[in-house]
Amino acid sequence: MYQRSNKNTCMHQKPQVRRGKCIKKGQILAYGAATVGGELALGKNVLVAYMPWEGYNFEDAVLISERLVYEDIYTSFHIRKYEIQINQGPERVTNEIPHLEVHLLRNLDKNGIVMLGSWVETGDILVGKLTPQMVKESSYAPEDRLLRTILGMRVYTSKETCLKLPIGGRGRVMM
């Protein structure tokens, strides 16, 4: 299970002791991203080239190896959490949202919630939600007025109130 730190990075620690067991001095309690063999291991040893432009500034050029890029040596893992409030009652979570393009709904399961493992980008729907809206009598279409008069049915329209991935967001759904 991955946990999110206060800086949205991944905290993944693997416990090495069991609940209820006695531990000894010097025993390794957990393995994590910053330890190797029970020893603190921060950073990487890399060789970089640095060249200031005309000798005075420091923001000009740092050259690193392509291997660091292609082998994901300095890749970080960020976790974002998005929530939506769904009221008990008339609101519905569904994957059938009218008037939306099909490609925006492609990642939703049959319940209207984004599927685990899906790749999502800005604007993709994470939770499909419809909120009913009461329509004023004067704005009914003629066929709706007829239904109301003959059958006594109330006509509702639904407003799309989906949870969408914000601007700048993209990634894979984990939990």
Q: Give pLDDT tens digits for 91-119.
A: 888 888 888 888 888 899 999 999 999 99
Kindly state the tokens that stand for 90: 């008339």
- The model's pTM is 0.60
- The CA-based angle 17-21-27, given to 5 degrees, is 50
What digits encode the pLDDT tens for the residues 55-79?
666 666 666 778 887 888 777 777 8
What digits encode the pLDDT tens for the residues 133-142?
766 666 667 7
Structural domain boundaries in the chain? 1-79, 82-175
Q: What is the CATH number of domain 82-175?
A: 2.40.50.150
